[in-house]
Amino acid sequence: MSHYFSLANKAAIAFLIFLPPFFNCVKAQKINEDSLRAIIKDSKYDTARVLAMRKLASYQILHKGEIAEGLALLDKTDVLARKINFQTGICEVLLTRGNYHYRKSDWANAIGFFTELNNQSSLIADPVYQQRTSMMALNNLAGIYSKNGDYTTALDYYFKSRELLEKMKSDVSALCIVYVNIASHYSMLEENAKATEYLEKCYPLLDAAKPYLKYLYWSEKLTLADKQKNGMLVKSAIDSLEKNLNTSELSDFQKIDYNLTLYEMKGRYQKEYVKNLPQAIIEFQKKLTLAEQLDDKAELYNALYEMGDCYALQNDVSTAISYLQKAYTGAKADSINQVVYTSSKLLGQLFYQQKKYDEAYQYISTAYQVNDSIISQKNLAQLNFLEAGYQNEKKEKTITELKLSNTEKELGVIKRNRLLIIIGITATALLISLGLLYRTNRQKRLIAEKDQMIKGEQIKFLERQQQVVSLQSMVNGQETERTRIAKDLHDGLGGLFSTIKMQLSTLKHEEKSLETNELFQKSYQLVDNASVEVRRIAHNMMPEVLIKLGLMQAIQDLCNSINAGKLMSVSMQSYGMEQRLNASTEMMLFRIVQEL
């Protein structure tokens, strides 16, 4: 299996680390134990105590190696969570148990706890946590089957997880990882078209997802290209991966880890597609340097093997043997059998070419022995997994039988209590009916009283409206009468005085002697004063300026008239009167000012 194919396992593991906000189960981390113990001791809320107990137990089991203490605390946590029916706490306990057995490769128990976690998640009240918990369980189950080579079953669980994520529509990063996992497993099943289909589903989501997911995406693209032996696609995928690693916001550890894989890809591309062995050696040397920084033994020995292989292809046998022996010795000491097999096999071939048959035989024998061991271990693991599946099915069958027995007992209790329930329901229904009848009568009485009250208020309102209408009619009648009298004075009496004044003026011009007649002059003056007085009275009763120019100008004229008498000094100021009021309102306000 090429190194590219191992990237799918990184994708599956990444999902377990990334997904849940309240399940921290994989990456080692330091926690404040004293703080957790204080919460456990002093918390007034049982749910807070359950969460603190679970977190401390998980830390002891998965990170500190205090297995016995952690499992004992986890048992207490489970008892308390079930006592208070705290479903989230129960699920966290199940997840911690599943992770513990996963680490031990105890597949039967791991499958059992993750399956129970998936079933238990339906009891969580919060729909978001419910879906995320179920998705967590499904992905862990998929990871178990994937790790044991059952890619079809793993795909089934990934499809169920995908269905939940597509309903949630909120966790883009998680959906990306599931798409990449599905593509990876289709690739392992040689379904390259389906693998490409799911990678295309993932691509539009990458910009909104976590930065490291671009690495997983392009790694899987590279795997497909390498399987198809398409050098152009391999180079395109490498370039895209390198660009994303340079532009994405990654942690320092992620940059080193992902560049480690990038140098491996570039080295293999130069070796297998371009046949540029010196450049391939440069890339593998970069990988070797990073592997030493990370203290990643498997990648370090793999880099040594690749460099030895490149020197062997260049016919630099002595240098090749030097690197291969380092890879062989280190991998054998650390039990990394795959590198032991590849390096010993190539060393045997090189020594055989040099006619050093003893060394060649020794390394080739080792290669066959290690290969047999790898195959045996793989077969044993598969048998153990099959046995684990059988044990899990047996356990589930026992649980089902117990549930069936309990159900039968519950049915017997239900039958005995059914009659009592019917009697109770009948009595309750009768009481409810009487209560409803009383309530209905009372509501009708209250409604009748309320209607009577509303009608009384309506009558008072109509009476007040009638008073307003009467007053308005009276005012309108007064103004109408004022208008009529003003017109009569102005058009009738005013016109008559004007005619008399005009005739007296004509007589004055014809009879020159009248100009010195004192009686005539006084009469003429009285007629003139009477004419002016008539106009003033008519104007006060219906000021023409009020009708034509509005309230403000009419009041200003009134002020000017008062000021002309020099007995009072009146000034006017107005604000917010840019637009005229309706005619009746202006008339009423003018009369009020006039009376004042």
Q: Is the pLDDT of residue 195 over 60?
A: yes
Nearest alpha carbon to residue 185 among 213, 155, 157, 228 = 155
Q: Is the pLDDT of residue 94 over 90?
A: yes
Angle at 572 between CA 569 and CA 575, to 5 degrees: 165
pLDDT given at position 378: 59
Q: Mean pLDDT, to the nearest integer, of 154-178?
A: 84
Mean pLDDT of the chain: 80
DSSP 578: S
pLDDT band at 487 (very low <50, low <70, confident <90, very high): low
First-to-last alpha carbon distance for the chain, in angstroms, is 109
- Longest CA–CA span in the chain (Å) reads 172
Q: How many residues does the chain have?
A: 596
DSSP 148: T
Q: Is the pLDDT of residue 203 over 80?
A: yes
Cα–Cα distance, 540 to 157 (Å, whole number)? 98
Buried b or exposed e, range 514-535, using 16+ CB within 10 angstroms = beeeeebeeebeebeebbeebb
pLDDT given at position 278: 93
Q: Is the pLDDT of residue 506 over 90?
A: no
Cα–Cα distance, 300 to 306 (Å, whole number)? 10
pLDDT given at position 37: 85
Q: Is the pLDDT of residue 55 over 80?
A: yes
Q: Mean pLDDT, to the nearest integer, of 177-190?
A: 87
Q: Is the pLDDT of residue 9 over 60?
A: no
Cα–Cα distance, 435 to 59 (Å, whole number)? 59
Q: How many CA atoms lie within 13 A of 208 on its CB side?
A: 11
| Three-state SS annotation for 356-390 | CHHHHHHHHHHHHHHHHHHHHHHHHHHHHHHHHHH
Q: Is the pLDDT of residue 453 over 60?
A: yes
Q: Between helices 583-595 and 551-564, what is the axis angle to 10°? A: 20
Cα–Cα distance, 486 to 534 (Å, whole number)? 9
Environment class of 550 (CB within 10 Å of its CB; exposed 0-12, middle 13-18, buried 19+): middle
pLDDT given at position 387: 56
102-111, 295-304, 528-537: which range is least confident on average? Answer: 528-537
Q: 260: helix, coil or strand?
A: helix
pLDDT given at position 71: 92
183-197, 268-282, 480-494: which range is least confident on average? Answer: 480-494
203-217, 240-254, 416-430: which range is least confident on average? Answer: 240-254
pLDDT given at position 13: 37
Cα–Cα distance, 76 to 57 (Å, whole number)? 10
Give CA 101 to chain center in angstroms: 33
pLDDT given at position 68: 92
Could you tell me which residue, 534 or 123, shows the higher pLDDT? 123
pLDDT given at position 564: 82
Q: Is the pLDDT of residue 589 over 50?
A: yes
Highest average pLDDT, of 3-7, 337-341, 383-387, comes from 337-341
pLDDT tens readout for residues 569-588: 889 888 888 888 887 788 88
Environment class of 62 (CB within 10 Å of its CB; exposed 0-12, middle 13-18, buried 19+): buried
pLDDT band at 7 (very low <50, low <70, confident <90, very high): very low
11-15, 213-217, 264-268, 500-504: which range is least confident on average? Answer: 11-15
pLDDT given at position 398: 65
Cα–Cα distance, 531 to 493 (Å, whole number)? 8
Nearest alpha carbon to residue 280 among 313, 258, 254 = 313
Cα–Cα distance, 551 to 61 (Å, whole number)? 92
pLDDT band at 343 (very low <50, low <70, confident <90, very high): confident
Q: Mean pLDDT, to the nearest integer, of 321-345?
A: 88
pLDDT band at 507 (very low <50, low <70, confident <90, very high): confident
pLDDT given at position 228: 79
Question: Can you give the pTM of this predicted structure?
Answer: 0.53
Q: Mean pLDDT, to the nearest integer, of 119-141?
A: 88
pLDDT given at position 11: 39
Q: 47: helix, coil or strand?
A: helix
Q: Between helices 67-83 and 46-59, what is the axis angle to 10°? A: 160
Q: Mean pLDDT, to the nearest integer, of 506-512?
A: 78
Contact 307, 281 (CB under 8 A): yes
Nearest alpha carbon to residue 571 among 582, 579, 560, 584 = 560
Contact 544, 489 (CB under 8 A): no
Contact 220, 183 (CB under 8 A): yes
14-28, 75-89, 357-371: which range is least confident on average? Answer: 14-28
97-101, 159-163, 506-510: which range is least confident on average? Answer: 506-510
Percent of the chain with pLDDT over 90: 12
Contact 363, 347 (CB under 8 A): yes
